[in-house]
Structure 1
Amino acid sequence: MTAGRLAGSSRHGEPWRVGVLFSQTGVTAVVEETQLRGTLLALSEINEAGGIAGCEVVPVIYDPQSNDRNFARLSHRLLANDGVNVIFGCYTSSSRKAVLPVVERLNGLLLYPTLYEGFELSPNVIYTGAAPNQNLMELCAYLLAHYGPRFHLIGSDYVYPRATNQLMREVLADSGGVLTGETYISLNADRRDLVPVIAELRRTRPDVVFSTVVGDPTIHLYQAYADAGFDPRLMPIASLTTTEAEVRAMGCAVAEGHITAAPYFQSVDCVANTEFVRRYQRRYGSDEPTNMCVEAAYYQVHMFARALAQTRTIETDVLREKMLGATFEAPQGLVEINAASSHTTLWTRIGRATRSGQFEVIRQSARPVVADPYLVGYGRTAPHA
């Protein structure tokens, strides 16, 4: 019996059960905890409004502890044992790839709220984070135009950074850029592991440090950079993965001047975001920042709930069809799940970190950008406001 048949539809007032897999401990908890918060905020809003068909949506929550094997094991438990058919979860691409064969085999549905390297399409995943054409392509063009052609790439040692840096190398080669070095560090790296990286930067003096470091080592990288006396006005760290959460953890003064590309920053100026930030901080504290990962985790739950209200069944095949093509006024602006790719049409923005811990948006698309996960339109960038 598949998980979909186990989950079925809510009867006799029984709650809808959904799985939640975000790490509350381990090296990537600094961001995954915020994704958990965004998920729970959305669920509380849905339930406070009466639930779906009069029934609450109840999360079954596990802590995978930033461990890919745990993600695989717990996703199987959710689908096979817990009567769950839909999972909100995963931050790293390696955790997503660990869960992918499980949801495909048991016909579950994973809603994945994190930017990733592209080149994937599964009927059992809805991708609500950015694909490379929605962040990397535009960031690279901006950096080449404003800082120079010489890039040093540094990433955590797993699938997302290596795949993303391969793409960055190709983009630089096509655009006249120069690679001064490429370095990988452990997901468990500490400050001592950054010593040779800083020495290499001091020796080669690139124009840009492109970081795909994730989790706690992000904090160590930026702090080591600041301790070395480098100037972000001359050699910024530019990232797709550094959010307001890491900025808060490393210290706002340490992050000031560095650059991130993302669909969403807390500083986005629109009514939907103002209300989202207000509700988030009312629940979690006035000093708790939002970020692109918590925003995607939040709005994907609401999009799921809208589909569930229409289908009255949580079975994968029915629910997925209703979610494909759906739109939602998210905190970042209007988004749409593309029916052809299961990826989400998102905004492209580039922000510079300020001393307040926020990002000043210095460049953004004039309209949402359709995800191109296989880069069929390679080299095309978004029009600008």
Structure 2
Amino acid sequence: MSVEAGLIDPLDALHSERDPHVLRVGLVVPQSGALGITGPSAVDAALLAAHEINAAGVLGARSLGLVLIDAGRPPGDVATEVDLLCGAGAVDVLVGFHTSDVHRAIEAAVSGRTPYIFTPPHEGGPRLPGVVCTGVDPAHQLRDAVGPLTARHRLRRWALIGNDYIWPHAMHRAAERLIADTPGRIVFERLVAFGTVRATIEPLLDGLRAHRPDGLLLSLIGRDLVDFNRALRRAGLDRRLVRLSGALEENGLLAAGGDDTGGMYASMQSFATLADDRRL
């Protein structure tokens, strides 16, 4: 049994002969689109995890193989390919790191047929049979951040800016409830389509200037979050705002050029928070 877990192309998975000693995991992660910036690290993390499982002999005589499925495409396209792979018996289980609109499409396609684990923060609510979420919902993601940040920085005026799909919608609703329990209030809110931050940045910046928030919840993802943070710095607004992001991770922070304001916070789970010496 090989301990190395290679990547299998979906077409190969469909048409090649199955090795009965390999448990195939459909790895549904973005290789394109708004979250494509996170794809390489997601694949690396999955390869490392599969290698450790194989090396430890967790599956006995079997080993893990990974079928890489691009989750950066439109939800219907991703769900169609996943449905085809599951229906053909080309994958045994699914693990996904992608947007919630893709998640819901996959859930509808495979529920009750193929086990499906979804790992990022999500919008909350019930799931169909066979679907497990390991991330947190908006209320849990924000509850330990909004109150303490409001108190520490004396925030009174909040702006909410996110992408226009199910997870930011839920984040904004949760933020509204939490902010209502503080001395603060929401003075500006906008949702923008994937990939449009560069084209809509001036109206967003103008809105921030006009409404003068001191706190900013960002529910933008991937490249849109990077573009926004870069533009905020160029406009000189980054030092006027305390930013809280539910989707900021190491790739996005690096691509945005880091932060030296001391006012950028993230509420997304990170390897650095794991109680494990290997976390870094």
Aligning the two structures, in what range does the TM-score lie when normalised by the shorter sequence?
0.7 to 0.9
Q: Tell me by how many angstroms 1:13 deviates.
A: 5.5
From 179, 203, 208, the counterpart of 1:172: 179
For 2:143 and 2:191, the matched residues in 1 are separated by: 21
For 1:48 and 1:82, the matched residues in 2 are separated by: 25
| 8 Å Cα contact 1:226-1:254 kept in structure 2 | no
Q: 1:70 to 1:149 in 2, by over 3 A?
A: same
- What is the letter of the counterpart of residue 108 of structure 2? P
- Secondary structure at the aligned position of 1:175 is classed as coil
Q: Tell me by how many angstroms 1:254 deviates.
A: 6.7
- Secondary structure at the aligned position of 1:123 is classed as coil
1:275 maps to what in 2? 278
- Secondary structure at the aligned position of 1:237 is classed as strand
1:69 maps to what in 2? 76
- What is the letter of the counterpart of residue 92 of structure 1? T
1:140 maps to what in 2? 146
Q: Deviations over 1:66-94 (max 9, x none)?
A: 32122211220221014323101142110
From 183, 194, 206, the counterpart of 2:213: 206
Q: Tell me by how many angstroms 1:37 deviates.
A: 2.1
Normalising to structure 1: TM-score of the pair?
0.63
For 1:146 and 1:12, the matched residues in 2 are separated by: 57
| 8 Å Cα contact 1:222-1:254 kept in structure 2 | no
Q: Deviations over 1:197-216 (max 9, x none)?
A: 11111111111010000121
- Secondary structure at the aligned position of 1:163 is classed as helix
2:254 maps to what in 1? 248
For 1:12 and 1:33, the matched residues in 2 are separated by: 26
Any residues of structure 2 matched to 1:1-385 within 5 Å, and which?
14-50=21-57, 52-104=59-111, 106-147=112-153, 148-232=155-239, 234-253=240-259, 257-264=263-270, 266=272, 268=273, 270=275, 272=276, 274-277=277-280
Q: Tell me by how many angstroms 1:256 deviates.
A: 5.5
Q: How many residues align structurally?
A: 262
Unpaired runs of at least 5, structure 2:
1-17
Unpaired runs of at least 5, structure 1:
1-10, 278-385
Q: Tell me by how many angstroms 1:260 deviates.
A: 0.7
For 2:119 and 2:64, the matched residues in 1 are separated by: 19
For 1:107 and 1:82, the matched residues in 2 are separated by: 10
Q: 1:133 to 1:184 in 2, by over 3 A?
A: closer
- Secondary structure at the aligned position of 1:140 is classed as helix
- What is the letter of the counterpart of residue 135 of structure 1? Q
2:6 maps to what in 1? none
Q: Tell me by how many angstroms 1:166 deviates.
A: 1.6
| 8 Å Cα contact 2:218-2:245 kept in structure 1 | yes
- What is the letter of the counterpart of residue 134 of structure 1? H
2:3 maps to what in 1? none
| 8 Å Cα contact 1:156-1:185 kept in structure 2 | yes
- Secondary structure at the aligned position of 2:65 is classed as strand
For 1:252 and 1:98, the matched residues in 2 are separated by: 34
Q: Which moved more, 1:156-165 or 1:45-54?
A: 45-54
For 1:248 and 1:114, the matched residues in 2 are separated by: 19
| 8 Å Cα contact 1:20-1:88 kept in structure 2 | yes
| 8 Å Cα contact 1:19-1:86 kept in structure 2 | yes
Higher relative contact order, chain-length normalized (CA < 8 Å, sep 6+): 1
- Secondary structure at the aligned position of 1:62 is classed as strand
Q: Tell me by how many angstroms 1:51 deviates.
A: 5.4
| 8 Å Cα contact 2:71-2:98 kept in structure 1 | no
| 8 Å Cα contact 1:29-1:66 kept in structure 2 | no
Q: Deviations over 1:248-291 (max 9, x none)?
A: 1111147763111133353x485x2x4243xxxxxxxxxxxxxx
Q: Deviations over 1:315-362 (max 9, x none)?
A: xxxxxxxxxxxxxxxxxxxxxxxxxxxxxxxxxxxxxxxxxxxxxxxx
- What is the letter of the counterpart of residue 141 of structure 1? G
| 8 Å Cα contact 1:76-1:102 kept in structure 2 | yes
Normalising to structure 2: TM-score of the pair?
0.86
